[in-house]
Amino acid sequence: MDPVTGNAAGAPHQGAPAGAVPDLGALLKRSARGDEAAFAELYDATAARAHGLVLRVVRDRAQAEEVTQEVFLEVWRQSGRYDADRGSALAWLMTIAHRKAVDRVRSAEAATRRDVTYEETNRSVAHDETAEAAHASLEARRVRAALAHLTDVQREAIELAYFGGYTHTEVAALLDLPVGTAKTRIRDGLIRLRDSIGVGR
């Protein structure tokens, strides 16, 4: 992997719990006013997390880096649209990151169908279980504990959708579920996850 960069600039250590990062909502608000320093701080606090997710979904390192760049340009552009009443700044940012990553894998896939071959890169990131991939922070322990409450099918469905970028219909096919049931497994699993982590309303 790449040499770890950015820590010299005071980035929080990898795996820092959400509570240790600066007030992301406030940084977004300042970014919306054109405050580049605030945005740099936001970047340093969230880039590793967003990039970890993007890389997991996109798998190809070079493409993931492009997507992460797009994500943060988009975050800057949309910063004034973040509404604290509708959720946390981190979730908002991760939603943008995930959406861009999924768009990238799906458009790459569409291109593959047209172009004859698509060289499979060997740069895929480890495909380990979510629980194992989770880092040893308090938050990660909570997530891990919460994941243990899911049924295998719920967990697999969520992982295939979230990290694999598959649609619920594709997830159903991958898991040999009747069409239309994967979305229910995903929803039930997420609700259980939400309730046991204790986020949201």
d(CA 47, CA 50): 5
Cβ–Cβ under 8 Å, residues 56 and 35 = no
Q: Does 153 bind another protein (CB under 8 A)?
A: no
Of the residues 22, 25, 76, 153, which one makes contact with another protein according to CB under 8 A = 76
Q: Does 175 bind another protein (CB under 8 A)?
A: no
Total of chain residues touching another protein, rule CB under 8 A: 95
How many other β-carbons are positioned within 10 Å of the β-carbon of residue 68?
A: 23
Among 74, 68, 69, 73, residue whose Cα is nearest residue 53: 68
Q: Least distance from C-beta 156 to another protein, angstroms?
A: 13
Helices first, then strands: H and E counts in the chain: 9, 0
Q: Does 118 bind another protein (CB under 8 A)?
A: yes
Q: Least distance from C-beta 153 to another protein, angstroms?
A: 13
Q: Does 182 bind another protein (CB under 8 A)?
A: yes
The number of residues making up the chain comes to 201
Question: 26 vs 188, which CB is nearer to another protein?
Answer: 188
Q: Least distance from C-beta 65 to another protein, angstroms?
A: 5
Q: Considering only residues 77-96, where is the footprint of another protein by CB under 8 A?
A: 77-81, 86-88, 90-91, 94-95
User: Which amino acid is residue 197, in one-letter code?
Assistant: I
